[in-house]
């Protein structure tokens, strides 16, 4: 896989960087870290919205903020494909990047580890390591998940591995379909 | 949990819940608009900008165009398309719409121009016009970049309102300028007195205008002049008739003074320009000329030229018949009269006058001389020879000139008389006048006697010596020849050249005909020193005054000088003749004598004993003696006479005819004299002098004969008859001398000579040393007693002589040996033998006193003589 496209890079630079180096077990320092994570996420979300490029919803699943859950989606051929998104903050965070999971796509693509954890580019890890502790969750989403979705979803859709929910006749989720 | 964290969580939630903005791409928008038009929701025409990013409605475009025009007044459509950013097609379309709706706008050549723009332009033009007084439309059009027709159409309605001026023939003029040109035209029209072609008129006016306006002047079209002129004619300001539209004939000259004052400069130019003169100007000229002429009684042509009169002489002569025309001025009779009077005065008083000083300063020398030719007195005086006109303006009365001439002549004589010692250089010394030559010759003559001229330098000494020697050696033939030569020369160089270039003083005589003191320069100096007035006059330029005077006097002076020389020459000729006669006479005698004496030498030559050495010496002695005694005077007289003759020929005057008797001259003297003689004569003369030094009388006689013949004289040859008469006279002479002789020694010589004449019929001239031999030779011819007496006498004489010389010391040497008579290779005992012999004589008669000896000698000789006679 190539390096990131220019749009990704420019976006990444606009996300505020973090400063506190603390993992989930660091107590108060982690709280501080968490605050910074939120701030970065808010800025990233606002940025996406202003560019009409909103593509995920996440929220902390536990009070410590070590588990996150949410949804992410991708529009292909005017059809919105939406997937669940979950990930844990590893103990060695921020030295180790969080492993983003798309459990719905588990076993459907090669670019994924067991359990739905997405495979990142070779460039990701060194970049992350280099920018520890300045990169946070927002950066991981921007650098990891967004390119992955853009690359894999069209393939998955074209190969028929992933079908739009309208086609699957899941009427319960029809409200999520958007047609322009 | 941290509150802040919660707050952040909430904020994050809120941010995620917020509606994301919706963005449409351009493509979408264009599609939308197309959809709208399709659906006929937009029912009007939409234009888009040239960039393709904007839609614009027609109304908006129009309003933008109008605002642009309002802003700038004049807009080009292309510029408009650029500034609004709409395609030119739409802009043009809408512009036409705009212009058609607004009457104040005009669309010309792709430009929209509002009338307000023209107003402002007109104002600008007006401002400039007021500054420059005239502008050409072409200039304006070029400046505004519009067609000149458009300019005309635009300006015409504004002239008189916005533009204060007048449009004529493509030019704008201010009223003032029009008035000025109008005045010019009017002035010119009034100034014209002859029919005139209009086009020429206009062109000259144009030149004038351009001159006035200088470089920036714009050519005024002739139509402008024409229209102004037409107006003037119509208005009756100028009167005349216009023929064929181009020929103007003025009728009268009205009120010209007004415009003369008003337009005097133009008029003057025109008057000069046109060949004919208007009356007023003529009058002014006349007045001016009249006043000047009457005041000064002369007027120069130049003045008239300045007044514009082209032919002043005719003009003046027609007006003033009493005046005279000169080279550069015209004079009235009164001026001539005045000059005439003053000249008359000067002539009467025997003075001189410079006409230029009397005449006004503007007179040139040519004029002055011409004026003089008009003066009756001058003419009369010139005719009668009472006055001389020199250097064009100098009038000298005859008496004055004569006075000058006399004084110079006198001075000249003074110079001549004062001779060499004066300033005059040596080349002028012997030629200036007879007086001078006499003086010179006299000096030379005296120089002979005193061996050196008293007053001369070394150079002069040499010269005088030459003169003297040359004089004696001239003869008649040479005279004839030289006179012939002179006649020839005289033709070539009449009167002036008397000198023969061959003559001794060559270098000097060649300059004789132009004596330095008569050169112009020296004459001028002389005149200046004599008459200081003249010097003052000619102080600035002495040449003008004195040079002519000197030139006038010089030929006269030269003439008089020449006459003197001629007179001197004729005198000389007589003297020369006399001189030559004298010389001939003297020569005849002497030459015959020497020939006679030479014959006597033959006696010794045919002697058998001739072979003996001692007799050879005797012969040498005899020859030498003869040469010394008889030949030397001949040579001397010959040389002196020839020299004198030479000098006479060169124009010297000799003092009287007497030639001084030959004095003792050294051989060097003779040589120098001989060298002073001309040409071949000199060669012969030198030869002669050399033979004189030799030992052969025959050689001498032959060379002497040659010289005599060369110098044109006759050398007489001795014939029998002549010899006899000569011998007879010689004998008589000798016997009378013997009778009168009192000196015993010379008596002996004479007696011996007489005896030789008696016995041999030959005239012997023997030196004292040869006497004894001569006496010995007579031994056979005389009877013993007589011979004895003679021998005794001879011995006694020798004794006497030896005694006399012993009284002074050196005895024997003086008597017998002489100086160097012992010939080379003589036997050893020669000298000793002579000495012994003489000693015997001396001892033999030693006891006899000198006195008794003399008395005894006389007695014995007398006895002998008596015996002999019987």
| Separation of alpha carbons A62 and A68, rounded Å | 8
* Residue B18 to residue A35, Cβ atoms within 8 A: no
Quote the tokens at residue B205: 């006016």
* Cα Dmax for chain B: 222
Quote the tokens at residue B507: 């270098």
Quote the tokens at residue B545: 């005054």
In this complex, the residue of B1, B4, B23 whose CB is nearest that of residue A52 is: B23
CB of A149 within 8 A of CB of A55?
Answer: yes
Chain A closest CA to B50's CA: distance in Å?
Answer: 30
CB-based contacts of B456, cutoff 8 Å, min separation 6: B420, B443, B447, B463, B464
| Separation of alpha carbons B286 and B292, rounded Å | 10
* Residue B12 to residue A31, Cβ atoms within 8 A: no
Whole-number percent of chain B with pLDDT over 70: 58
Per-residue pLDDT averaged across B543-547, rounded? 62
Angle, in degrees to the nearest 10, between helices B434-450 and B542-605: 40
Quote the tokens at residue B691: 């033979």
Residues of A with catalytic roles: 119
Using alpha carbons only, give the angle A22, A28, A34 rounded to the nearest 5 degrees: 60
> Strand pairing partners for B250?
B240
CB of B794 within 8 A of CB of B748?
Answer: yes
CA Rg value for chain A: 16
In this complex, the residue of B9, B16, B21 whose CB is nearest that of residue A50 is: B21
A67-92 burial by CB neighbour count: b if 16+ within 10 A, else e? Answer: ebebebbbebeeebbbbebbbbbeee
* Residue B12 to residue A41, Cβ atoms within 8 A: yes
| Separation of alpha carbons A34 and A45, rounded Å | 16
* Residue B8 to residue A39, Cβ atoms within 8 A: yes
Write the ipTM: 0.81
> pLDDT value at position A136?
92
DSSP secondary structure, B184-202, as one string = HHHHHHHH--S-EEHHHHH
Residue B800: which of B751, B747, B764, B836 has the closest Cα? Answer: B747
CB-based contacts of B79, cutoff 8 Å, min separation 6: none
Q: Chain B: residue nearest A40 by CA?
A: B12
Quote the tokens at residue B90: 């739409």
Full-model pTM: 0.30
pLDDT band at B836 (very low <50, low <70, confident <90, very high): low
> For B249-299, how does the pLDDT look when each residue is reduced to its tens digit (9 = 90+)?
666 444 444 444 555 656 556 655 564 555 666 777 778 878 887 777 777
Burial of B529 from C-beta contacts in 10 A (0-12 / 13-18 / 19+): exposed
- DSSP state letter for A141: I
Chain B closest CA to A110's CA: distance in Å?
Answer: 31
Contact residues on chain A for B1, CB-CB shorter than 8 A: 63
> For B699-743, how does the pLDDT look when each residue is reduced to its tens digit (9 = 90+)?
777 777 777 777 666 766 667 777 777 777 777 777 777 677 666
Q: Chain B: residue nearest A71 by CA?
A: B16
| Separation of alpha carbons B249 and B28, rounded Å | 92
CB of B229 within 8 A of CB of B240?
Answer: no
| Separation of alpha carbons B517 and B774, rounded Å | 67
> For A33-59, how does the pLDDT look when each residue is reduced to its tens digit (9 = 90+)?
999 999 999 999 999 988 888 899 999
> For B121-131, how does the pLDDT look when each residue is reduced to its tens digit (9 = 90+)?
888 888 888 88
CB of A71 within 8 A of CB of A56?
Answer: yes
Helix (H) or strand (E) holding B735: helix B720-740
Q: Residue B163: what are its φ and ψ, rounded to 5°?
A: -105, 120
Task: Give the pairing type, strands B387-390 and B46-48.
Answer: unpaired
CB of B523 within 8 A of CB of B404?
Answer: no
Instruction: Tally the residues of chain B.
Output: 870
pLDDT band at B206 (very low <50, low <70, confident <90, very high): confident
Chain A closest CA to B120's CA: distance in Å?
Answer: 56
Highest mean pLDDT: which range of B322-326, B539-543, B666-670: B322-326
Name residues 18-57 of chain A within 8 A of B (Cβ).
31, 34-35, 38-39, 41-42, 45-46, 48-54, 57
| Separation of alpha carbons B774 and B792, rounded Å | 14
Cβ-based interface (< 8 Å): residues of B facing A: 1-2, 4-5, 8-9, 11-13, 15-16, 18-23
Tell me the helix, strand and coil percentages in chain A, rounded to 5: 40, 15, 45
Q: Collapse the DSSP code of A84 into the 3-class scheme (helix H, G, I; strand E, B; otherwise coil) and give the result.
A: strand
- B645 vs B865, residue with greater confidence: B645
CB of B450 within 8 A of CB of B456?
Answer: no
> pLDDT value at position A41?
93
> Strand pairing partners for B390?
B394
| Separation of alpha carbons B387 and B396, rounded Å | 6
pLDDT band at B185 (very low <50, low <70, confident <90, very high): confident
* Residue B5 to residue A57, Cβ atoms within 8 A: no
| Separation of alpha carbons B766 and B754, rounded Å | 12
> For B380-400, how does the pLDDT look when each residue is reduced to its tens digit (9 = 90+)?
777 777 777 766 667 777 777
> pLDDT value at position B321?
76
| Separation of alpha carbons B857 and B848, rounded Å | 12
- State chain B's mean pLDDT as an integer: 68
- B88 vs B148, residue with greater confidence: B88
| Separation of alpha carbons B468 and B645, rounded Å | 10
């Amino acid at each position: 896989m190539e390096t990131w496209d220019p749009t990704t890079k420019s976006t990444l630079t606009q996300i505020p960087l973090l400063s506190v180096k603390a993992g989930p077990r660091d107590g108060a320092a982690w709280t501080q870290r968490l605050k910074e994570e939120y701030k970065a996420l808010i800025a990233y979300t606002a940025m996406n919205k202003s560019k009409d490029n909103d593509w995920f919803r996440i929220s902390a699943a536990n009070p410590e903020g070590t588990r996150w859950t949410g949804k992410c989606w991708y529009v292909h051929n005017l059809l919105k494909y939406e997937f669940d998104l979950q990930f844990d903050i590893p103990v060695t965070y921020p030295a180790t990047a969080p492993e983003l999971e798309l459990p719905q796509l588990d076993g459907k693509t090669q670019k994924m580890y067991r359990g739905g954890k997405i495979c990142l580019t070779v460039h990701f890890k060194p970049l992350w390591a280099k920018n520890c502790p300045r990169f946070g969750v927002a950066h991981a989403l921007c650098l990891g998940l967004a390119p992955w979705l853009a690359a894999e979803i069209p393939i998955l859709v074209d190969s028929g591995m992933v079908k739009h929910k309208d086609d699957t006749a899941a009427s319960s989720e029809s409200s999520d379909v958007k047609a322009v | 949990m941290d509150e802040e964290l919660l707050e952040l969580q909430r904020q994050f939630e809120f941010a995620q819940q917020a509606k994301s903005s919706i963005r449409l791409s351009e493509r979408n928008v264009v599609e939308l608009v197309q959809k709208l038009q399709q659906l006929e929701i937009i029912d009007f025409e939409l234009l888009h900008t040239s960039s393709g990013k904007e839609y614009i409605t027609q109304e908006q475009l129009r309003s933008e165009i109008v605002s642009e025009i309002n802003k700038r007044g004049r807009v080009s459509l292309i510029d408009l398309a650029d500034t609004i950013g709409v395609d030119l097609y739409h802009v043009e379309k809408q512009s036409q719409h705009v212009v058609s709706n607004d009457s104040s706008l005009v669309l010309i050549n792709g430009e929209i121009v509002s009338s307000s723009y023209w107003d402002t332009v007109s104002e600008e033009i007006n401002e400039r016009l007021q500054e420059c007084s005239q502008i050409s439309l072409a200039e304006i059009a070029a400046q505004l970049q519009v067609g000149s027709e458009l300019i005309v159409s635009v300006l015409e309605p504004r002239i008189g309102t916005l533009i204060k001026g007048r449009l004529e023939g493509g030019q704008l003029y201010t009223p003032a300028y029009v008035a000025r040109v109008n005045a010019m035209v009017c002035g010119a029209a009034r100034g014209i007195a002859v029919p005139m072609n209009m086009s020429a008129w206009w062109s000259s006016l144009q030149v004038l205008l351009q001159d006035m306006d200088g470089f920036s002047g714009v050519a005024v079209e002739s139509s402008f002049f024409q229209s102004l002129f037409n107006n003037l004619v119509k208005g009756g300001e100028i009167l005349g008739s216009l023929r064929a539209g181009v020929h103007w004939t003025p009728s009268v000259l009205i009120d010209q003074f007004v415009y003369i004052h008003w337009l005097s400069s133009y008029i003057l130019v025109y008057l000069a320009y046109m060949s004919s003169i208007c009356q007023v100007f003529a009058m002014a000229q006349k007045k001016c000329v009249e006043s000047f002429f009457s005041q000064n009684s002369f007027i120069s042509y130049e003045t008239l030229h300045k007044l514009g009169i082209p032919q002043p002489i005719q003009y003046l002569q027609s007006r003033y018949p009493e005046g005279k025309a000169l080279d550069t001025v015209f004079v009235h009779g009164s001026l001539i009269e005045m000059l005439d009077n003053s000249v008359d005065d000067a002539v009467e008083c025997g003075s001189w006058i410079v006409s230029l000083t009397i005449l006004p300063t503007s007179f040139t020398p040519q004029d002055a001389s011409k004026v003089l030719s008009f003066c009756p007195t001058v003419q009369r005086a010139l005719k009668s020879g009472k006055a001389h006109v020199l250097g064009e303006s100098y009038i000298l009365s005859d008496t004055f000139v004569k006075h000058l001439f006399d004084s110079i002549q006198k001075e000249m004589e003074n110079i001549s008389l004062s001779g060499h010692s004066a300033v005059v250089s040596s080349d002028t010394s012997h030629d200036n006048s007879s007086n001078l030559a006499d003086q010179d010759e006299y000096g030379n003559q005296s120089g002979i006697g005193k061996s050196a001229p008293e007053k001369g330098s070394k150079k002069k000494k040499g010269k005088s010596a030459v003169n003297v020697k040359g004089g004696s050696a001239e003869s008649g033939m040479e005279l004839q020849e030289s006179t012939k030569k002179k006649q020839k020369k005289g033709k070539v160089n009449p009167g002036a050249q008397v000198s023969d270039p061959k003559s001794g003083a060559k270098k000097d005589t060649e300059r004789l005909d132009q004596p330095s003191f008569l050169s112009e320069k020296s004459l001028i100096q002389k005149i200046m020193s004599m008459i200081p007035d003249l010097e003052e006059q000619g102080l600035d330029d002495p040449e003008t005054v004195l040079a002519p005077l000197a030139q006038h006097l010089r030929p006269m002076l030269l003439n008089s000088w020449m006459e003197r020389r001629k007179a001197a020459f004729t005198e000389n000729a007589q003297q020369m003749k006399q001189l030559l006669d004298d010389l001939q006479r003297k020569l005849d005698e002497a030459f015959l004598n020497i020939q006679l004496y030479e014959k006597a030498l033959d006696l010794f030559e045919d002697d058998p004993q001739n072979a003996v050495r001692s007799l050879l010496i005797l012969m040498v002695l005899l020859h030498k003696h003869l040469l010394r005694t008889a030949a030397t005077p001949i040579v001397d007289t010959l040389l002196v006479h020839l020299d004198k003759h030479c000098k006479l020929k060169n124009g010297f005057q000799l003092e009287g005819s007497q030639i001084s008797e030959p004095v003792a001259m050294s051989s060097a003297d003779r040589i120098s004299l001989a060298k002073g003689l001309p040409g071949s004569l000199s060669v012969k003369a030198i030869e002669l002098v050399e033979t004189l030094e030799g030992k052969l009388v025959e050689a001498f006689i032959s060379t002497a004969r040659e010289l005599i013949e060369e110098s044109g004289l006759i050398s007489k040859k001795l014939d029998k008859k002549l010899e006899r008469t000569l011998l007879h006279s010689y004998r008589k002479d000798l016997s009378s001398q013997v009778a009168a002789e009192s000196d015993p020694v010379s008596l002996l010589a004479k007696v011996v000579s007489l005896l030789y004449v008696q016995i041999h019929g030959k005239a012997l001239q023997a030196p004292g040393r040869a006497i004894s031999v001569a006496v010995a030779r007579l031994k056979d011819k005389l009877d013993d007693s007589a011979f004895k007496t003679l021998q005794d006498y001879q011995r006694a004489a020798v004794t006497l002589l030896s005694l006399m010389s012993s009284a002074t010391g050196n005895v024997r040497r003086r008597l017998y040996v002489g100086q160097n008579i012992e010939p080379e290779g003589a036997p050893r005992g020669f000298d000793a033998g002579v000495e012994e012999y003489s000693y015997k004589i001396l001892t033999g008669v030693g006891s006899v006193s000198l006195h008794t000896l003399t008395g005894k000698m006389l007695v014995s000789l007398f006895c002998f003589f008596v015996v002999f006679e019987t």
